[in-house]
Amino acid sequence: MSVERIVLAFAGLMILLSLGLGVAGSPIFHHTNWIWFTAFIGVNLLQSAFTGFCPLAVILKKMGSKTGTAF
């Protein structure tokens, strides 16, 4: 699996998890402040679209994951 696919899968998983923890109707609800984590992920995705810099991609490259063309 390439770095790009891992980054997208991880971001999607974190968004779903933080929404589950932050939305009051969820069975795994913890506290509404988890919505801030969802916003952080969204901002990070947006900035990486414009700058090409993604902290998780840097970590994955150092761990030896193969890269594609996006990062």
CA quadruple 61, 55, 57, 23: dihedral positive or negative? positive
The confidence band for 1, taking pLDDT boundaries of 50, 70 and 90, is confident
Does residue 5 sit in helix, strand or coil?
Answer: helix
Domain-located, residue 25: yes
pTM of the model: 0.85
The string over 12-30, giving b where at least 16 C-beta atoms fall within 10 Å of a residue's C-beta and e elsewhere, is: eebeeebeebbeeeeeeee
Domain-located, residue 70: no
The confidence band for 70, taking pLDDT boundaries of 50, 70 and 90, is low
Q: Which amino acid is at 18?
A: S
Domain-located, residue 68: no
CA quadruple 30, 33, 38, 40: dihedral positive or negative? negative
Domain-located, residue 67: no
Domain of residue 50: give its range.
Answer: 3-62
Domain-located, residue 44: yes
Domain-located, residue 8: yes
Q: Which amino acid is at 45?
A: L
Q: What is the pLDDT of residues 7-48, one digit of tens each?
A: 999 999 999 999 999 999 999 999 999 999 999 999 999 999
| pLDDT computed for residue 71 by the predictor | 53
